[in-house]
Amino acid sequence: MPTRTETPVYHPDLYSAAAIRDTYPHYAALRHLGPVVWLSKHKVYALPRYAECKQVLLDDDTFVSSGGVALNPVANRVGQGTTLFSDGDDHARRRSLLAHRLTPRALRTMKDMVDQQAVAVVEAAVARRTIDAVEVAMALPMSVVPDLVGWPRQGREHLLRWAGATFDALGPLNCQAVRTLPASVGMLRYARGVVRDRSVLDSSLGHDLLRAADEGRIMPAECATMMIDYLAPSLDTTISAISSALHLFATHPEQWRLLKADPDLVASAVNEVVRYESPIRGFSRTAAHDTELAGTLLPKGSRVLVLYGSANRDPLEWDDPDTFDIRRDAARQLGFGQGTHGCAGQGLARMETSAILRALVEKVDRIEPAGTPEWALNNVIHRLERLPLELIPA
Amino acid sequence: MKISVDYARCEGHGLCADQASGVFSLDDDAELTYHFEGAEVPEEHQPASRAAVNACPVAALRVLS
């Protein structure tokens, strides 16, 4: 059985600024090297192919999250007590406190409101005609999510910066993580204040958490981290999906015409957007005991990096993976993770992204590039920073 | 081919019903119905059923045999 000395090694820094802005060539090189590749720079086994990513995500007894899912020991310690960093019954208990509020079943009552807000956002964008589509992509999540989580109105202006910084902190401890560290600490401090002052909005997720703490079902100290648990991943990720969708339809006009001709393709288009430009690059897991993965021996404690963005472009799994095609069956894509830790907010993310796409189909004839897009610098989130577009009204 | 459904895990995302509408369906309350509970999945539904199992976001579906 191969040991680490026989495992292919990749030396380039997957988290350099250049690699963050243009990661796909690195993913292709990693997939070419093998199913399990040692990243010498980050001291972790990268999993660049679909099959192993899926195997690890579905085997949460062997590949655990309680050692943290970040790539640095500081975040893996600070993040203790979150749903993201827990396993087994402990994870199930935390997830059950809030996830039921986010299922498609629970979100039905929000659908009309989300649809109406999406139409308003798109109408305002069409009226401006030339837009930064990232700003447009921010509007719906920012109008829906903070209310749902119950974040007080005061302090919301920092939310996006704080949430982005929280994701930066889950990568390696590089310049990017260090530069944004004060902002991620700022979010934690603010969340603790919100819990201390009980200033969460009534009948929100945050309110449920306070009640759970009052009833002794969770520790009071866990309330703040669990609010961040749900808030931080619910903004940048959806903004990524919506802005990537706009970018992809602007650069693939034939796909836009397909969607215009058959709006029933919206659900399939959302899967394809998340496959093609996966909002989260990767999270790690730790081997709970000596194990073997695709012929590679992984001693207990080995850290593996599940590269969602690479798995979703793996030619062993997908025909023409670098082709954006909304008719493709991309439902099995791993952009939301999968299994026990599968994104709890994916119903909401699908609802928001679909609502924007339906409103665009109705109000917009063509989407045209109006400048050079820029990708954001973030260790974990893959999203556009700036996307100049022109919307030609229907 | 038999499929087990973990109803406690199911969150009603409905990706299975998109893949295999003759095998899984969601009612108006997003409650899942599996049409071959305790029975063999007929041969003509098996490829779609495998795709449904593969797509379930929370791994609530499992192929037993």
Q: Mark yes or no for CB contact B57/A338 under 8 Å.
A: yes
pLDDT of residue A1: 52
Domains of chain B: 3-63 (3.30.70.20)
Domain CATH code at residue A175: 1.10.630.10
Mutate to test the interface with A, among B11, B29, B32, B61 (most CBs of A within 10 A): B11
pLDDT above 80: residue B65:
no
Q: Mark yes or no for CB contact A267/B19 under 8 Å.
A: no
CA distance A366 to A16: 36
Give chain B positions within 8 Å (CB) of A342: 57-59
CA distance B4 to B49: 11
**Contact (Cβ atoms closer than 8 angstroms) between residue A137 and residue A247:** no
| Chain A residues with a Cβ under 8 Å from any Cβ in chain B | 58, 99, 103-105, 108, 267, 329, 331-332, 336, 338-340, 342-343, 346-347, 350
Question: B43 in contact with A at a CB cutoff of 8 Å?
Answer: no
Collapsing DSSP to helix, strand or coil, A218 comes out as: coil
Q: A97 CB contacts (<8 Å, ≥6 apart)?
A: A208, A209, A212, A217, A218, A226
Question: B47 in contact with A at a CB cutoff of 8 Å?
Answer: no
Q: Which of A157, A173, A169, A313 is nearest to A235 (CA)?
A: A157
Q: Mark yes or no for CB contact A105/B12 under 8 Å.
A: yes
Rounded average pLDDT over A261-277: 98
pLDDT of residue A225: 87
Q: How far, in whole angstroms, is CA A59 from its chain's centroid?
A: 20
Q: What is the dihedral of CA A300, A303, A307, A308, to 10 degrees?
A: 70
What number of other Cβ atoms are within 10 A of residue A220's Cβ? 14
Angle at the Cα of A88 from the Cα atoms of B31 and A283, rounded to 5 degrees: 90
Q: How far, in whole angstroms, is CA B18 from its chain's centroid?
A: 10
Q: Mark yes or no for CB contact B30/A108 under 8 Å.
A: yes
Question: B50 in contact with A at a CB cutoff of 8 Å?
Answer: no
The sign one gets for the Cα dihedral A332, A336, A340, A345 is negative
Q: Name the pLDDT band for A78 (thresholds 50, 70, 90).
A: confident
Q: Mark yes or no for CB contact B58/A339 under 8 Å.
A: yes
**Strands, DSSP E only, in B1-65?**
3-5, 24-26, 32-34, 61-63
Q: Name the pLDDT band for A81 (thresholds 50, 70, 90).
A: confident
Nearest CA in chain A to B19: A331
Question: B6 in contact with A at a CB cutoff of 8 Å?
Answer: no
Q: Which residue has the higher pLDDT, A225 or A116?
A: A116
Domain count across chain A: 1
pLDDT of residue B28: 81
State the amino acid at position A13 in one-letter form: D
Give chain A positions within 8 Å (CB) of B54: 332
CA distance A376 to A360: 24
Rounded average pLDDT over A59-75: 95
pLDDT above 70: residue A152:
yes
**Contact (Cβ atoms closer than 8 angstroms) between residue A266 and residue B18:** no
DSSP string for A186-201: HHHHHHHHHHHHT-SP
Nearest to B59 among A105, A340, A350 (CB): A340
What is the per-residue pLDDT across A5-41, written as a single tens digit (0 to 9) for each? Answer: 589 999 999 999 999 999 999 999 999 999 999 999 9
Above pLDDT 90, what percent of chain A?
83
User: Is ipTM strictly over 0.90?
Assistant: yes
Rounded average pLDDT over A190-207: 92
Alpha carbon separation from A113 to A153, A236, A344 (Å, rounded): 19, 21, 20
What order do you get walking across the sheet with A282-287 strand by strand?
A9-10, A37-39, A44-47, A303-307, A282-287, A63-64
Q: How far is B16 from chain A (nearest CA, A)?
A: 9
Domain span holding position A158: 4-393
Angle at the Cα of A42 from the Cα atoms of A36 and A44, rounded to 5 degrees: 35
What is the per-residue pLDDT across A334-388, written as a single tens digit (0 to 9) for each? Answer: 999 999 999 999 999 999 999 999 999 999 999 999 999 999 999 999 999 999 9
Q: Which residue has the higher pLDDT, A38 or A218?
A: A38
Q: How many helices (H) and strands (E) does chain B have?
A: 2, 4
Q: Mark yes or no for CB contact A58/B59 under 8 Å.
A: yes
Q: Mark yes or no for CB contact B29/A105 under 8 Å.
A: yes
pTM to 2 decimal places: 0.96
**Contact (Cβ atoms closer than 8 angstroms) between residue B48 and residue B22:** yes
Q: Which of A183, A187, A150 is nearest to A165 (CA)?
A: A183
- Structure token digits, residue B60: 């609530």
Q: What is the dihedral of CA A252, A392, A361, A164, to 10 degrees?
A: 70
pLDDT of residue A255: 98
State the amino acid at position A163 in one-letter form: A
Q: Name the pLDDT band for A119 (thresholds 50, 70, 90).
A: very high
Q: Name the pLDDT band for A2 (thresholds 50, 70, 90).
A: low
pLDDT of residue A230: 84
What is the per-residue pLDDT across B7-48, written as a single tens digit (0 to 9) for each? Answer: 989 999 999 999 999 999 998 888 899 999 999 999 999 999
pLDDT above 80: residue A4:
no
State the amino acid at position A239 in one-letter form: I
Q: Mark yes or no for CB contact B59/A346 under 8 Å.
A: no
